[in-house]
Amino acid sequence: MPPKKHASLDRVLGRLDSLDSVNLANLVQRLARERGLFEDIFNTLQEGVLVIASDGEIEYANTAAHRLIGLGDDGLAGQVLWRLVPGLRPSLGVSLDDDAALPVVAREFELSYPEPRTVRLYMVPFRSDGRAGERRFAVILTDVTRDKQTTEARIEDERTSSILLLAAGVAHELGNPLNSLTIHLQLIGRRLKKLKAGRETESLAESIRVCEEEVKRLDGIITNFLEAIRPRPPDLAELNLADVLAEVLAFEQRQLADRGIIMEAETAGDLPPVLADRNQVKQVFFNLLKNALEAMQPGGRLRIRARTDDDHVILAFGDSGSGIKQEDLARLFQPYHTTKPGGHGLGLMIVQRIMREHGGQIGIESKEGVGTVVTLHFPRKDRRVRMLQS
């Protein structure tokens, strides 16, 4: 049953011809107030609301709809929805002018302007008294970009965790035969010392020493690998990223010189502090420098720039290397995906995990034959929001 107020209004409209000028003016004011009320209600909604005709012409759009589609106030009135969302009309698969019952339509589509976003569309038909009862459609638009990103990140995290767990198990199991090799090499070495010294025993002793060194090297690789991939919460402390980067560059200075790489770093000493795990941040820097060095030939150039905005400390690592193919960019953070001979494909995945656990982000831009820029966004300490435990 309609509200009494609306029923009363319907009765007044039914005898519109008999109203005098005063009552007619009062009626117009009342209609304007009710229209304004409904406009205010619709404009407070976070979801976009559209009313379209059967030909797709937009008759009404609230503020959220303008924001989602990226047009200014009143920019949607008179526009055709099918032109704004080209793939929508063919996907419906039915005639909107058909008198047959039209099912409720739900679709998701991507918008690239003014920024990339995913929008869920819900469209339901209705008939109004205007235009001789012509069918219209109410369209609800909801921005689901964050939900989809959160879901994709969760799936990726679960996938990464399972792969890392498997890799950690394999690395741990490799430690057992290495320990056995170490013990037997020590036993052989002791027995060899009891034999009469000679050229042959010296040669065997040297071979044993080489084997022991190689076992130690393999053990070190496994230890470092486990430390790198074992998920552990960051030990957060106040850091100046310029200081940490300076330590890493000092360590890598010899390798840069040996490879003939020209390095330029601009990092102001007054960068705002961040909350981060010093060792994990170092690992991020080492991995990015390693990737940059392997991508460049002697004489290449590595540029590092630091800047800040209202919320982040931003470091950009740019190399003049071979660049990355566009089809490979989307898979860079996938476990075991690598474009380098002998690469294990875990470096960037580990970097991404560390940045996520610090509440930061990593972005990569690359052009084949020109070079690559990797950008790190660390939340500033004074703007950091406490992350909830997952």
pLDDT tens-digit map of 322-364: 887 776 766 666 655 455 544 445 677 788 888 888 888 888 8
Query: What pLDDT does 352 receive?
Result: 84
> What rounded mean pLDDT belongs to the chain?
77
DSSP string of 218-262, one letter each residue: HHHHHHHHHHHHS------EEE-HHHHHHHHHHHHHHHHHHTT-E
pLDDT at 317 over 90: yes
- pLDDT-derived band at 26, boundaries 50, 70, 90: confident
The more confidently predicted of residues 19 and 303 is: 303
Distance CA 370, CA 322 (A): 6
Q: Would you say 339 and 324 are in contact if contact means Cβ atoms under 8 Å apart?
A: yes
Q: What residues does each domain of the chain span? A: 1-44, 46-143, 149-229, 237-383
Share of the chain above pLDDT 70, in %: 72
SS3 state at 366: strand
Residue 43, number of CB atoms within 10 A of its CB:
13
Contact present, 175 and 222 (Cβ < 8 Å): yes
Considering the domain 149-229, what is its CATH architecture? Orthogonal Bundle (1.10)
Contacts of 204 (CB under 8 A, 6+ apart): 192
Q: Which CATH architecture has domain 46-143?
A: 2-Layer Sandwich (3.30)
pTM beyond 0.75: the answer is: no
β-pair partners for 108: 120
Amino acid present at 56: G
The predicted-structure confidence for 172-182, as pLDDT tens digits, reads as follows 677 778 888 88
- Secondary element (H or E) of residue 136: strand 135-143
pLDDT by residue (tens digit) across 140-165? 888 888 777 666 666 666 666 676 66
Q: How far apart are CA 212 and CA 205, in angstroms?
A: 11
Q: Virtual CA dihedral for 201, 206, 208, 209, nearest 10 degrees?
A: 140
Architecture of domain 237-383: 2-Layer Sandwich (3.30)
